[in-house]
Amino acid sequence: MSLTESSMEVEHDRSGATVVLHRVDQATPMVRPSRPRAAAEQGAGRWAWAVPGALIAVAALALSVRLWRLDAVGFNSDEAVYAGQAASLAGNPNYSELFPVFRAHPMLFQAVLSPFFRSGEVDVAGRVVVAVFGVATVLAVYLLGARLYSRPVGVVAALFLAVMPYHVIVTRQVLLDGPMVLFATLTLYCLVRFVQGQQLLWYVAAGGMLGATMLTKETSIVLAGGVYAFLALTPTVKRPVRISVLALAAMAVVFATHPISQALAGRSATGRSYLVWQLFRRPNHSMSFYLETVPGAMGLLLVAAAACGLWWLRRQRSWRETLLVSWVAAPVVFFQLWPVKGFQYLLPVAGPVAVLAARALVGLPLPARLRRYRLPWAGRLENAEPFHVARSVRALRIAAIAAVTLSLLVPSWKAVNQADNATFLAGSGGVPGGREAGRWLAANTPEGSVVLTLGPSMANIMQYYGHRRSYGLSVSPNPLHRNPSYDPLPNPDWWLRHNDLQYVVWDSFSAQRSKFFAERLMVLVRRYHGRVVHTEYVERTSSSGTRVPVPVIIIYEVRP
Amino acid sequence: MTDTTRPGMRRASCLLARALLLACLLAMVIPAPAAHAAPRRSAPAAGATTPIDHFVFLMQENHTFDNYFGTRPGVDGIPAGTCMPVRRGQAEPCVKPFHLGELGSLDLDHSAEAFRVQYNKGRMDGFVEGVSTQGKDGKLAMAYYDDRDLPYYWNIADEYVLFDRFFSSSNSGSIRNHMFRVTGGPGATGASESIPKEGWGDIPTIFDRLEAAGISWKFYVENYDPSITFRSRASEEDVDRGAQVIWVPLLAYARYVDDPRLFGRIVDLDEYYEDAAKGDLPAVSFIAPAGDSEHPPGSIRAGQTLVRTLLTQLMRSPNWDSSAFLWSYDDWGGWYDHVAPPQVDAYGYGFRVPGLLVSPYARRGYVDSTTLDFTSVLKFIEVNWRLKPLAERDRKAATFLGAFDFDRPPRPAAFLSTERTPAVVERPDPVPVYASYAVTGTLVAALVGVAAVRRRRWA
């Protein structure tokens, strides 16, 4: 491999064995119609404003979709935990005793959140922070797309991500995955800069950024596998061992912040046990879980466009596609094999898939037959001048992009407007009625009340909104079979008999997951004179088509 | 003779009757809006002179103040250097107070004779002898419990009111003390200390006063068996349930047993929980325990659990804001107490017993040293609902109104821990967390920045 150094910004030719350098800030050698010179100059002037304008519009759209009815449903379990950690770190007295600062994950995101949680009960502010991370990711995807292909590709990729239901849903929740994907996208960007410029500092920066990604959520270490796969499949990229070691060291040093900060602040043992538990815990979903949930959430048309683009633009295949596909493949393969599955775990692939889809649609090849027909706003193509042909082709591509965008926007809009749901998938949004039930506990039960819930998820929500110590009945007393963050109740019957539990909370979401514990909980409710004191309902459409209230959370008062 | 006023009167009474009928119909058709808007509260409380509309009085059994709180700081507890002579009048050998803990206790003698020996004409030096003369280990009388054994009660004392001059009314056992509790008198006079075969006759009770005034009341009885009364008690004593008639003296009154309306006010303790949950507690509630009475050798932990459960229900009741819950112990149980009880008449006082008050108006962590006995509770009820005294004792008794602070709004309910020293949650120092993440974030940003700047330099 030869490298020609230049004073200009450079990039490799996509397909050549030898490296040819191009200006990157010009259009990449994708399909570009020829245009009259004057029109091109005029167009260049328009583009100078069009791209920032489009980006502002996309960012505004992304922010709007992420903030719309953001407060309609309260936190889910994971949100409650991260928010509780942030509040605890900030010294919020409402949460310090209920949520330990250190649990399973590193604290980068929680540290960013904590200034918003210094006092009182906060939920929407935390989600706004994540939404801002989400919009930043949308802009980062523009940078990635523009850097890899062209500005139009960047803008379209950003548009896709802005309205992609998967990304919208996750970045409306106080979860680690939204911020993690921002850093992951920036890691990818640094890597692209390194490959394009062969400037080794970008390689080290990519290592550092991957470390920051891991500091947000340590499972993102699987993305290192994507980098490795890319480098292994692309021998043309120069990567001296010394610099690779330096990049790895940068990653390790950045990630070392997690154990160092814990050690300095008074480390808990939870983090150590958590990895062991994750390694040996039982599967929580079937093997087809991701296939059933993620493509639909990403948009079937979008995924199809990304996949088809790889086919119809195969002649222009280069290291770019290798990089994006490697980046997608690593987490998909890993989490497919990993027994524990979560809806949001594959979010890092959203950006690359959006870029691949944008690339495919911006370079969409049109069938020859289609070219014979006149478009309403263009001349008959075979008779038209090249400029008009280009406009018509562009119009068709825009139509295709619009169709894909619409196919994403509609489910996103439905998702953000669907506040009530009697079923719940972890990571897919808030828990209907959870916040209201928790607040009822806070307002109507004496301080010091202790609550038994069906599972640990509802316990987290009750602790967050209710400020009442809560225990999940289904938390195993066996340390090998439970999240080390959770305290089990080895003998709930004894606790109830001695008046150490005063309230029992049943919820339909946990009951659907575990019929055994749901039944067991009701046995205790009956045994200890359970009396319904509060019920939360959601409305559901019955078989007759009418809207009927369905109880989702029931609070019982119990006594010996 | 013709009564000229009759037609006019007839018309007037006819009009009045119609008006009343119309008013009744309207009242039935149009419910008062206030009845819907107002939070549910139990009926009477008519004319209470304090914000206390619901008063609950629980009587546990057989402990002295020093036995439960003698080592508590800030109270009139066991004096330093106490050593009780094994024989009265002989300083040595003697027994020092010791922590009983999990050693296990016995039912010490607590008869009138035991009191006479232990009291020893006010010398208070016969506690060991009073027990040992009955063939039991007299040293046990000097045992005490502390916050290791009674964490919940001690926590209650921290938050609410503890009385350290609360005496049992009678210097003998349960029967007289329970009679003082409801009548202000000893019941049987003279040396006799048993329930007469014909019952207590017409001795007036506080419940007679409440009935006459139209003030609601109930007597809640744990494990209540309505078939056990003074008439059936003899045959039931063998199964140890006949004591129900001692704890609930009303069951030894023919007029309470034979009147279904009055008899219906004596109910199982389960009804307390239901009434409290609905906000339907009566104005005055008396509670008699069964197996959870802390009577040695019964479990004091079980007693704590009972009290905690009763308080839990009261605290989550709509009645909490206007309630007061007082519990005490019917006699000293043979245990040591260092304060010589004033002898106000032939029957008492007996030795000090623990007494605690929980109320949203109770002073926080207050030790009330007013001299009180069970008739002080009657006095409080009489003062609060403007009732006439029952007997000389309650007429002269002091009340515990000073334990309340009615100038402040009611305190919100809070469940207290059963741990004396709850686990302290250590909050890690946040500064290293913030600092380390800030430094790392800055370094990564600088790294990217330098990479970007170097490109520009080359350009």
Which of A294, A299, A309 has its CA nearest to residue A403? A299
pLDDT at B459 over 50: no
Longest dimension (CA), chain A: 90
- CB contact (8 A) between residue A199 and residue B277: no
Distance of CA B35 to the CA centre of its chain: 31
Mean pLDDT computed over A416-437: 74
In the three-class reduction of DSSP (H, G, I as helix; E, B as strand; rest coil), residue A541 is classed as strand
The candidate with the shortest Cα–Cα distance to A404, out of A358, A370, A366, A363, is A358
Place of tokens 């030096």: B125
pLDDT of B25 higher than 50: no
- How high is the pLDDT of residue A20? 38
- Specify the higher pLDDT residue, B26 or A539: A539
**What is the rounded CA–CA span in Å between residue B34 and residue B41?**
12
Confidence at residue B44, expressed as pLDDT on a 0 to 100 scale: 43
Nearest 10 degrees: Cα torsion B379, B380, B386, B390: -20
Q: Which residues are CB-neighbours of B297 under 8 A, at least 6 positions away?
A: B104, B105, B106, B107
Quick one: which of A101, A433, A151 has its CA closest to A441? A433
Task: Count the Cβ atoms, other than its own, within 10 Å of residue A471.
Answer: 21
Quote the CA–CA distance of B341 and B339 in Å, as a whole number: 6
- Of residues A428 and B283, more confidence is placed in B283
Q: How confident is the model at residue B33 (pLDDT cuts 50, 70, 90)?
A: very low
pLDDT score recorded for residue A422: 54
Please say whether the beta carbons of A270 and A105 come within 8 A: no
Locate B250 and state its tokens: 């009303």
pLDDT score recorded for residue B32: 38
Q: Would residue A529 be called left, alpha or beta, if left means φ above 0 and alpha means ψ between -120 and 50 degrees?
A: left
Q: Please compute the mean of the pLDDT values over residues B359-370 and round it to a whole number.
A: 96
- Give yes or no for residue A509 having a pLDDT over 50: yes
The residues, ordered by sequence, that sit 6+ positions from A108 with a Cβ below 8 Å of its Cβ are A179, A212, A215, A216, A257, B437, B441
A395 contacts A378 by C-beta, under 8 angstroms: yes
Give the integer Cα–Cα distance in Å for A389 and A33.
8
Burial of A540 (0-12, 13-18, 19+ CB in 10 A): middle
Interval A453-464 mean pLDDT: 95
Cα–Cα distance measured from residue B382 to residue A75, given in angstroms and rounded to the nearest whole number: 53
How many angstroms separate the CA atoms of A17 and A235, rounded?
10
- Per-residue pLDDT reduced to its tens digit, B59-103: 999 999 999 999 999 999 999 999 999 998 888 899 999 999 877
Distances (CA, A) of A542 to A423, A510, A549: 14, 21, 9
Q: Is A63 exposed, middle or buried (0-12, 13-18, 19+ CB in 10 A)?
A: middle
pLDDT at A423: 56
pLDDT interval class at A65 (50, 70, 90): very high
Give Cβ neighbours of residue A250 (< 8 Å, ≥ 6 apart).
Answer: A204, A205, A207, A208, A211, B447
Nearby residues of A134 by Cβ (< 8 Å), 6 or more positions away = A62, A66, A167, A168, A170, A171, A172, A178, A182
Confidence at A120, pLDDT banded by 50, 70, 90 = confident
Q: What is the pLDDT of residue B89?
A: 84
Stretch B127-136: mean pLDDT: 87
Q: Find all residues with CB under 8 Å of B263, minimum gap 6, and list them.
A: B226, B256, B257
pLDDT band at A387 (very low <50, low <70, confident <90, very high): low
More confident residue, A209 or A364: A209
Contact yes or no for B444 and A202 at CB 8 A = no
B458: closest chain A residue by CA: A7
- Among A381-385, A473-477, B196-200, whose mean pLDDT is lowest? A381-385
What is the C-alpha separation between A177 and A190, in angstroms, rounded? Answer: 20
Q: Which helix (H) or strand (E) holds B161?
A: strand B161-163
Quick: pLDDT tens for B113-123. 889 999 999 99
Mutate to test the interface with B, among A98, A261, A463 (most CBs of B within 10 A): A261
Quick check: A108 and B437 CB within 8 A?
yes
Q: Concatenate the DSSP letters of all residues of B376-390 into one string.
A: HHHHHHHHHTT---S
How many angstroms separate the CA atoms of A456 and A488, rounded?
9
By DSSP bridging, strand A547-557 and strand A531-541 are: antiparallel
- How much of chain A exceeds pLDDT 90, in percent? 59
Tell me the pLDDT band of A126, cut-offs 50, 70 and 90: very high
Statement: residue A31 has pLDDT above 80: no
For residues B323 and B54, is the Cβ–Cβ distance under 8 A? yes
How close A493 comes to chain B (CA, Å)?
15
Overall average pLDDT of the A335-364 stretch: 92
Chain centroid to Cα B207, Å, comes to 17
Chain B residues touching residue A185 (CB < 8 angstroms): none
Long-range (24+ apart) CB contacts under 8 A made by B195-198 are B195/B230, B195/B233, B195/B245, B195/B246, B195/B252, B196/B252, B197/B230, B198/B254
Identify all chain B residues contacting A445, using CB atoms and an 8 Å cutoff: 316
Over 50: is that where the pLDDT of A29 sits? Answer: no
- Between B166 and A265, residue with greater pLDDT: B166
Residue A421 binned pLDDT confidence (cut-offs 50, 70, 90): low
By Cβ distance, the residue of A88, A89, A559 closest to B312 is A559
Question: What is this model's ipTM?
Answer: 0.84
Does the structure show a pLDDT above 90 at B454?
A: no
What does the mean pLDDT of chain A come to? 85
- Identify which has the larger pLDDT, A346 or B172: A346
Interface of B with A (CB under 8 A): 273, 277, 305, 308-309, 312-313, 315-316, 412-418, 425-434, 436-437, 439-441, 443-444, 447-448, 450-451, 454-455, 458-459
B1 has pLDDT over 60: no
pLDDT of A286: 82
Q: In this complex, do B458 and A559 lie within 8 Å of one another by their Cβ atoms?
A: no
Chain B residues with CB under 8 Å of A190 CB are 448, 451
Q: What is the pLDDT of residue A427?
A: 60
Percent residues over pLDDT 70 in chain A: 83
- Across chain B, what does the average pLDDT equal? 86
Average pLDDT over every residue of A13-18 = 38
Q: What is the pLDDT of residues A220-259, one digit of tens each?
A: 999 999 999 999 999 888 777 888 899 999 999 999 999 8
pLDDT higher at A215 or A4? A215
Q: What is the pLDDT of residue A48?
A: 72
Burial of residue B73 (CB within 10 Å: 0-12, 13-18, 19+) is exposed
**Cα gap B162→B364, rounded to integer Å:** 10
**B229-248 burial code (b ≥16 CB/10 A, e <16):** bbbebeebeeeebbbbbbbb
Integer Cα distance of A368 and A387 in angstroms: 17
Q: Quick check: A175 and A82 in contact, CB under 8 A?
A: yes
Q: How high is the pLDDT of residue B455?
A: 57
pLDDT at A229: 94
Over residues A167-211, the pLDDT tens digits come to: 999 999 999 999 999 999 999 999 999 999 888 899 999 999 999
Strand A503-507 relative to strand A547-557: parallel, antiparallel, unpaired?
A: antiparallel
d(C-alpha A550, C-alpha A537), whole Å: 5
Residues 384-403 (A) with a CB less than 8 A from some CB of B = none
The runs of H, that is alpha helices, within A363-433 are 368-371, 386-417
* pLDDT reported for residue A111: 94
Q: How far is CA A146 from the centre of its chain?
A: 22
pLDDT band at B391, cuts 50/70/90? very high
pLDDT for A46 equals 65
Interface with B, mutate which of A183, A251, A255, A559 (most B CBs under 10 A): A559
Would you state the pLDDT for residue B7? 46
Structure tokens at A8: 């200009």
